[in-house]
Structure 1
């Protein structure tokens, strides 16, 4: 069994894992090293999620474009059908 404070992920008393605490730089004075580390972690997260977000954005754009094109085509087809009906009418 690990010694207390030696990085044991579970609290022995209640079995709960500790939660990460958010750091608010405006309330707490951080050292330049801490700020640099926060920027480095944030950049790594952005680089990890950027390709996924880009793919989702492209797929969303294509989906919306296809929907708009389908609506336009349906409206144009209806207009052509009405023109044919008028042309062959009485």
Structure 2
């Protein structure tokens, strides 16, 4: 006879393992051992995804930092290009010279 796997059962249910059930810890009463196992499973899952999450966080931080520096640099560049106050000052100086020249005897 051939070995049919776990339990020696043959038929449609032969290769099926029990499926984990979702539980609500607030609603279902769990033993301390079950709560401890849940914490261990959550920690293992968190540690498994930590390097990927860390890489994404670093990439996001660098992107935001680059955007902030670009805005900061553009602001300085655009303020340095503004000459309208200088033009107004030149016009005011010319107007003062003109009025001072007409008021002189």
Whether the TM-score (by the shorter chain) exceeds 0.5 is: yes
Q: TM-score, normalised by structure 2?
A: 0.60
Matching of residues 1-90 of structure 1 within 5 Å:
3=9, 8=16, 20-83=20-83, 86=86
- Report the Cα distance in structure 1 between the residues aligned to 2:31 and 2:61, rounded to whole angstroms: 43
Tell which structure's C-alpha radius of gyration is larger: 2
TM-score (norm 1): 0.68
* Structure 2 residues without counterparts, runs of 5 or longer: 92-105
Higher helix share: 2
RMSD: 3.0
Distance 2:68 2:34 in 1: 48
Instruction: Using the TM superposition, give the Cα deviation of residue 32 of structure 1 relative to its aligned residue in structure 2, in angstroms.
Output: 2.1
Per-residue Cα deviation, 1:17-53 (whole angstroms, up to 9, x for no partner): x975321112111122211211111010011111111
Cross-structure match for 2:101: none
Task: Structure 1: give runs of 5+ residues left out of the alignment.
Answer: 10-17
Query: For 1:33-84, what per-residue CA distance to the aligned partner results, in whole angstroms no more than 9, with x for missing partners?
Result: 211211111010011111111111111111001001101111111111225x
Corresponding pairs, count: 81
SS of the counterpart of 1:65?
A: helix
* Aligned counterparts of 2:64 and 2:19: Cα–Cα separation in 1: 40
